[in-house]
C-alpha cells in the first residue's frame, strides 16, 4: 500500500492531503532542513559536521544496562505500567535534587518530566501560543524550537546576538512593541552559535522579564558541558520570577531514552500537566525508572566529566584545523562548551550555495539561514565537533577550507 509519504509528485501529495482534509497551515510547515541535510550527509564516505549528535562511543552503555536490570528488579510491574502525567514521583524528587545548584529553591512539585526537551518546547507552545502571537528569540536560534512554535502559527521578533549572547539592550523596546507571549533563549553554548550569554545580559533579561511579567523559556541542554571558564548562574538564580527552564539527559547521557524535564513556578504546573496529558499521557515509565536507578548509581557526574574531556579535545582539534586551513576572512567564535562552532564565511559567500560543493567533496554542515526565523545569516554555517574522530575533523576541515578558498 502506498503511504502518504510515498506519493511521488508534490501535486499528488497536495491532492491526497487535501482529500484527507489536512489542516491548511500544517501543509505549509517545512521539513527540518537539518533532517534533509542529514539524509545527504549519511552517504558513505561523507564526513559530517551537520548533526547535533552526541558521540556514540561515549554512551555509558554498561551502566545503563545495569540500571535497566535494577529498574526491573526494584520496581517490577510499576516500571512497565501506566504512570502519572507529571512523572514518576521519586524521579521528580531525584531531578529536583540533581539540579539544585543551578535551579535552587525548587522541589518535585516544580518538575514535569517530558519526552525530550523537544516535547518541553511543544508543551510551552501549546500552552501559550495562539495563531499570530509573537515570540521573541535570539537570531540565530534553535531550529527545532522554531519547528515546535511554527506548528501553533507563532510570529517572531528576533534580537541580534554578539559574542555576549542576546543583545538585551534591544529587548525592552521590542517587548513593549510586540507584547510577546514569551522570550525564548538558549543561554549556554547556544545551538547553533556556541555563544554563552554574559552575566550582565542575563541580569538585564531577568529585569525586563520581571518588569513586564513575561515568561522566559530558558532552554538549557548544554549547560553542564562546560570545557573552560566559570559556570554562569541560571536565570532563576538571578531572581527571575517567570522562568521556565528546560533540561535534558540527551546530551549528558543518551538521547534515546527521551528523558528531559521542565522546571517552572508551581502555580503554572497544572496548565502544563493538562497539556502533557493530552499529548502522550506520560513519558515512558520504564525510561524514567532506568534513569532514576542510573542517578542512584552515582555515576553521572563522572560521566559528564568524561564527555567534557572528549568534546573539549575535539573542539580544540577543530579550531586548530580551522586556523590552519581556513582563510583569515572566515571568522568563528570559540565556544566554551557544548557541541557547536559557528562560522561566518568571507563576505558575499553563501553557506547554502557552498553546501552542494561540500557534499561533492564529501563533507557536510548545516548552513545558517534556517536558524534565522526572519531572514539573514546567509553567510553563516554551523559545525558540530562532538560526533567525529580527530582524523575526520582534520580531514573534513581541510576539505571545507579548500572549498571556501576556491570560492572566494
CB of 378 to ligand PLP, least distance (A): 22
Binder to ligand PLP among 117, 193, 285, 380 (CB under 6 A)? 117
Binder to ligand PLP among 221, 240, 351, 401 (CB under 6 A)? 221
Supply 252's cell numbers. 549528558
CB of 373 to ligand PLP, least distance (A): 14
Strand, helix or coil for residue 335:
coil
CB of 403 to ligand PLP, least distance (A): 26
CA–CA separation, 30 and 119 (whole Å): 18
What is the greatest pairwise CA distance in the chain? 63
Binding span for ligand PLP by CB under 6 A among 111-119, 285-293, 320-328, 373-381: 111-119
CA–CA separation, 326 and 402 (whole Å): 8
Supply 38's cell numbers. 542529514
CA–CA separation, 159 and 295 (whole Å): 38
CB of 76 to ligand PLP, least distance (A): 28
Q: Is 338 in the site for ligand PLP (CB under 6 A)?
A: no
CB of 222 to ligand PLP, least distance (A): 7
CA–CA separation, 33 and 67 (whole Å): 36
Other Cβ atoms less than 10 A from the Cβ of 184: the count is: 28
CB-based burial of residue 101 (10 Å sphere; 0-12 exposed, 13-18 middle, 19+ buried)? exposed
Between 148 and 355, name the residue whose CB sits nearer to ligand PLP: 148
Length of the chain: 408
**Subset of 297-326 contacting ligand PLP (CB under 6 A):** none
Residues in the interface with ligand PLP (CB under 6 A) total 14
CB-based closest residue to ligand PLP? 116
Binding span for ligand PLP by CB under 6 A among 209-217, 247-255, 291-299, 305-313: 247-255
Q: Which residues contact 161 (CB under 8 A, 6 or more apart)?
A: 138, 139, 140, 167, 190, 193, 195
Q: Is 106 in the site for ligand PLP (CB under 6 A)?
A: no
Between 158 and 248, name the residue whose CB sits nearer to ligand PLP: 248
Q: Which residues contact 261 (CB under 8 A, 6 or more apart)?
A: 87, 92, 95, 111, 112, 113, 114, 120, 246, 247, 248
Binder to ligand PLP among 60, 116, 165, 194 (CB under 6 A)? 116
CB-based burial of residue 38 (10 Å sphere; 0-12 exposed, 13-18 middle, 19+ buried)? middle
CB of 311 to ligand PLP, least distance (A): 14
Strand, helix or coil for residue 311:
helix
Strand, helix or coil for residue 130:
coil
Between 110 and 248, name the residue whose CB sits nearer to ligand PLP: 248
Q: Is 293 in the site for ligand PLP (CB under 6 A)?
A: no
Q: Is 337 in the site for ligand PLP (CB under 6 A)?
A: no
Binder to ligand PLP among 140, 255, 351, 370 (CB under 6 A)? 255
Q: What is the DSSP letter of 30?
A: P
Between 106 and 186, name the residue whose CB sits nearer to ligand PLP: 186
Q: Is 380 in the site for ligand PLP (CB under 6 A)?
A: no
Q: 295, 236, 245, 234: which is closest to 272 by C-alpha? A: 245
49 and 363 Cβ atoms separated by less than 8 Å: yes
CB of 245 to ligand PLP, least distance (A): 12
CB of 269 to ligand PLP, least distance (A): 19
Binder to ligand PLP among 146, 260, 263, 322 (CB under 6 A)? 260
CB of 11 to ligand PLP, least distance (A): 34
Binding span for ligand PLP by CB under 6 A among 116-124, 150-158, 173-181, 271-279: 116-124
Between 75 and 287, name the residue whose CB sits nearer to ligand PLP: 287
**Subset of 141-200 contacting ligand PLP (CB under 6 A):** 142, 144, 186, 191
125 and 154 Cβ atoms separated by less than 8 Å: yes
CB of 107 to ligand PLP, least distance (A): 22
**Region for residue 285 given its phi and psi (left: phi exceeds 0; alpha: psi -120 to 50; beta: otherwise):** alpha
Other Cβ atoms less than 10 A from the Cβ of 357: the count is: 16
Per CB under 6 A, residues contacting ligand PLP are 52, 116-118, 142, 144, 186, 191, 219, 221, 248, 250, 255, 260
Amino acid at each position: 500500500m502506498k503511504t502518504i509519504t510515498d506519493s511521488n509528485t508534490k501535486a499528488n501529495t497536495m491532492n491526497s492531503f487535501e482529500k484527507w482534509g489536512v489542516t491548511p497551515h500544517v501543509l505549509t510547515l517545512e521539513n527540518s532542513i537539518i533532517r534533509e541535510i542529514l539524509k545527504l550527509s549519511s552517504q558513505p564516505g561523507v564526513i559530517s559536521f551537520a548533526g547535533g549528535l552526541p558521540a556514540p562511543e561515549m554512551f555509558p552503555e554498561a551502566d545503563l544496562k545495569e540500571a535497566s536490570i535494577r529498574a526491573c528488579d526494584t520496581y517490577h510491574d510499576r516500571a512497565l505500567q501506566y504512570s502519572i502525567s507529571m512523572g514518576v514521583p521519586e524521579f521528580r524528587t531525584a531531578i529536583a535534587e540533581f539540579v539544585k545548584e543551578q535551579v535552587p529553591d525548587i522541589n518535585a512539585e516544580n518538575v514535569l518530566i517530558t519526552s525530550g526537551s523537544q516535547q518541553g518546547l511543544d508543551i510551552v507552545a501549546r500552552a501559550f501560543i495562539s495563531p499570530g502571537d509573537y515570540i521573541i528569540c535570539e537570531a540565530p536560534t534553535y531550529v527545532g524550537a522554531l519547528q515546535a512554535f511554527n506548528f501553533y502559527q507563532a510570529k517572531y521578533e528576533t534580537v541580534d546576538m554578539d559574542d555576549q549572547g542576546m543583545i538585551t539592550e534591544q529587548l525592552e523596546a521590542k517587548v513593549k512593541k510586540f507584547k510577546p507571549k514569551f522570550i525564548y533563549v538558549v543561554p549556554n553554548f547556544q545551538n547553533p552559535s556556541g555563544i554563552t550569554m554574559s552575566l550582565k545580559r542575563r541580569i538585564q533579561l531577568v529585569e525586563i522579564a520581571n518588569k513586564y511579567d513575561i515568561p522566559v523559556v530558558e532552554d538549557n541542554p548544554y549547560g553542564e558541558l562546560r570545557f573552560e571558564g566559570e559556570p554562569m548562574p541560571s536565570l532563576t538564580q538571578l531572581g527571575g520570577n517567570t522562568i521556565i527552564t528546560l533540561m535534558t539527559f540527551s546530551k549528558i547521557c543518551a538521547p534515546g531514552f527521551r528523558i528531559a524535564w521542565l522546571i517552572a513556578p508551581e502555580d503554572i504546573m497544572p496548565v502544563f500537566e493538562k497539556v502533557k496529558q493530552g499529548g502522550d499521557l506520560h513519558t515512558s515509565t520504564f525510561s524514567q525508572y532506568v534513569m532514576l536507578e542510573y542517578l542512584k548509581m552515582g555515576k553521572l557526574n563522572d560521566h559528564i566529566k568524561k564527555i567534557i574531556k572528549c568534546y573539549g579535545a575535539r573542539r580544540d582539534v577543530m579550531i586548530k584545523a580551522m586556523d590552519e586551513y581556513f582563510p583569515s576572512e572566515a571568522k568563528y567564535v570559540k565556544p566554551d562548551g557544548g557541541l557547536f562552532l559557528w562560522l561566518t564565511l568571507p563576505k558575499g559567500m553563501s553557506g547554502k550555495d557552498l553546501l552542494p560543493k561540500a557534499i561533492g567533496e564529501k563533507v557536510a554542515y548545516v548552513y545558517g539561514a534556517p536558524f534565522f526565523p526572519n531572514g539573514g545569516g546567509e553567510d553563516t554555517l554551523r559545525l558540530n565537533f562532538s560526533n567525529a574522530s580527530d582524523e575526520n575533523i582534520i580531514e573534513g576541515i581541510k576539505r571545507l577550507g579548500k572549498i571556501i578558498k576556491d570560492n572566494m
